[in-house]
């Protein structure tokens, strides 16, 4: 396992003394006595910087079998068991919560905020309220954390023998959740047959409920259609300084895309000849066509933004923009077109070659958690129950999101999923290579 991994890597309790005696200042854990997770003991030894995934947690935990994660119980059975447990501790990565005071008449533990973005006030609060209405008697303690914060908190707690988290709800795109957590037995899949029947079996390396893609956004007041039709177009002089990517120093979206390109460099080589009418000539520091594309894009004035929200704002966040860039970002941000009136257009099927890797929103049950039945019930709720028409899936039925369930309600205005050219799903390849590709990206910056 690579130790230089920059995203979603394990951080152990008290590693190098950094976590001794308490949780990090970014830890927004509930403060009630019933829900507060105790900190690792001061001076606790972790054995250096060895990832927690390399501890002796078994890949196929006997606990998972005892907790019935391989069973398909009825909702009624689970609800009775969950009520007896009485609580659910949910570590969520939303990045969207603003107005917690809107939450009323709920048997909730205290909710603390780790990030803010206006859209969660429309989604999380009603979402949890509906869960409580449907399944009263289960106290929900919600921890809103960034991905790295969440995994750091969970890792420290697990290493200290503390099992606060029942579910981690977050994004998987690099292979880190699969390789460093699920395969090591620290997080578990839960795939009840009546919920996941018909889901693409390639997706079941995790417990997914929504697929997110990435695509090019353009300003519909300036362009009548997506003004590029090939990755190579943005290497041309006329696009110098007029395209936006997500800064890879904070999020792995771009490095994962670059890793997918390197894996299929042959496609970029063929596309180059189609666009320019001649075979590509590689520079000394360009081992293949994919690295050539990375090198040439880096030198063509790529604008880097710190969030996908900022990308769509730069592209079409206001009417009357005269010379906006085009921007490559996560598909779910297309919802800002409906929520805030952004002037955004997408044509993800315009390229002849793949335009996106596949990433998942997942819900993973924590090993040895204290409320496994409440966790299982929550996953069923999150997936919309057996027919996928339930209230739990509703917040994710927004344009730009793609539920993994074939019979989930159609989302009006969504580009057809099957028509979008996608790189083959290969999380193992991304995991093994995205850091190296990111290092190359850094090395060719002007």
Residue 17 has pLDDT above 90, yes or no: no
Question: How many folded domains does the chain comprise?
Answer: 2
> Both 25 and 86 in a single domain?
yes
Six token digits for residue 198: 């018909």
* Residue 33: predicted pLDDT: 25
List pLDDT tens digits, range 235-253. 999 999 999 999 998 889 9
Mean pLDDT, the chain, integer: 82
For the full predicted model, state whether its pTM sits above 0.85: no
> Both 205 and 180 in a single domain?
yes
Six token digits for residue 65: 């079998």
* Residue 123: predicted pLDDT: 53
> Both 405 and 436 in a single domain?
no
Q: Supply the range of the domain harboring residue 269.
A: 214-356+424-443
Residue 171 has pLDDT above 50, yes or no: yes
Q: Is residue 164, in this structure, part of any structural domain at all?
A: yes
pLDDT tier, 119 (very low <50, low <70, confident <90, very high otherwise): very low
Residue 411 has pLDDT above 90, yes or no: yes
List pLDDT tens digits, range 316-331. 999 999 999 999 999 9
Q: Is residue 376, in this structure, part of any structural domain at all?
A: yes
> Both 99 and 140 in a single domain?
yes
Q: Which carries the bigger pLDDT value, residue 31 or residue 192?
A: 192
Of the listed ranges 43-47, 205-209, 320-324, the least confidently predicted one is 43-47
> Looking at residues 60-72, what average pLDDT do you find?
88
Of the listed ranges 23-37, 82-96, 371-385, 414-428, the least confidently predicted one is 23-37
Q: Is residue 296, in this structure, part of any structural domain at all?
A: yes
> Both 162 and 246 in a single domain?
no
Q: Is residue 114, in this structure, part of any structural domain at all?
A: yes
CATH code (residue 322): 3.40.190.10
> Both 151 and 24 in a single domain?
yes
> Both 196 and 269 in a single domain?
no
CA–CA separation, 333 and 340 (whole Å) = 11
> Both 124 and 37 in a single domain?
yes
CB 360 within 8 A of CB 211: yes
* Residue 125: predicted pLDDT: 61
> Both 143 and 246 in a single domain?
no
> Both 239 and 191 in a single domain?
no
Q: Is residue 3, in this structure, part of any structural domain at all?
A: no
Q: Which carries the bigger pLDDT value, residue 23 or residue 175?
A: 175
CA dihedral 211, 216, 221, 225 (to 10 degrees): -100
Q: What percent of the chain has pLDDT over 90?
A: 70
CA–CA separation, 44 and 159 (whole Å) = 10
> Both 264 and 198 in a single domain?
no
> Both 283 and 157 in a single domain?
no
Q: Is residue 10, in this structure, part of any structural domain at all?
A: no
Q: Is residue 292, in this structure, part of any structural domain at all?
A: yes
Q: Is residue 203, in this structure, part of any structural domain at all?
A: yes
Q: First vs last Cα of the chain: how many Å apart? A: 31
């Amino acid at each position: 396992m690579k130790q230089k991994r920059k995203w979603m890597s394990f951080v152990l309790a008290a590693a190098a003394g950094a976590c001794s005696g308490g949780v990090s200042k970014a830890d927004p854990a509930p403060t009630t006595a019933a829900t507060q997770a105790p900190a690792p003991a001061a001076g606790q030894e972790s054995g250096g910087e060895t990832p927690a995934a390399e501890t002796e947690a078994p890949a196929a935990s006997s606990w998972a079998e005892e907790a019935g994660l391989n069973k398909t119980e009825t909702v009624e059975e689970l609800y009775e068991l969950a009520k007896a447990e009485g609580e659910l501790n949910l570590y969520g990565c939303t990045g969207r919560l603003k107005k917690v005071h809107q939450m009323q008449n709920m048997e909730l533990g205290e909710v603390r905020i780790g990030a803010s973005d206006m859209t969660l006030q429309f989604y999380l609060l009603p979402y949890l309220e509906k869960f409580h209405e449907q399944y009263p008697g289960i106290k929900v303690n919600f921890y809103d954390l960034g991905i790295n914060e969440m995994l750091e908190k969970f890792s420290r707690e697990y290493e200290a023998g503390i099992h606060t988290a029942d579910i981690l709800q977050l994004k998987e795109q690099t292979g880190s959740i699969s390789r460093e957590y699920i395969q090591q037995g620290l997080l578990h899949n839960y795939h009840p047959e009546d919920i996941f029947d018909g889901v693409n079996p390639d997706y079941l390396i995790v417990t997914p409920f929504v697929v997110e893609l990435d695509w090019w956004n353009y300003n519909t007041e300036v362009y009548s259609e997506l003004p590029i039709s090939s990755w190579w177009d943005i290497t041309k002089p006329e696009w110098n300084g007029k395209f936006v990517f997500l800064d890879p120093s904070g999020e792995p979206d771009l490095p994962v895309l670059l890793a997918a390109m390197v894996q299929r460099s042959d496609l970029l080589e063929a596309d180059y000849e189609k666009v320019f009418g001649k075979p590509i000539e590689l520079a000394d520091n360009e081992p293949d066509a994919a690295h050539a594309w990375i090198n040439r894009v880096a030198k063509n004035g790529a604008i880097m933004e710190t969030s996908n929200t900022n990308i769509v704002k730069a592209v079409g966040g206001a009417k009357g923009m005269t010379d906006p860039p085009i921007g490559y970002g996560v598909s779910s941000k297309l919802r800002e077109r409906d929520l805030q009136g952004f002037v955004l257009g997408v044509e993800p099927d315009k390229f002849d070659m793949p335009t996106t890797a596949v990433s998942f929103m997942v819900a993973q049950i924590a090993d040895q958690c204290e409320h496994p039945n409440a966790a299982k019930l929550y996953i069923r709720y999150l997936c919309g129950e057996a027919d996928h028409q339930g209230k739990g899936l509703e917040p994710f039925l927004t344009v730009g999101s793609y539920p993994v369930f074939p019979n989930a309600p159609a989302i009006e205005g969504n580009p057809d999923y099957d028509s979008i050219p996608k790189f083959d799903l290969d999380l193992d390849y991304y995991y093994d290579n995205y850091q190296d590709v990111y290092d190359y990206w850094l090395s060719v910056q002007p």
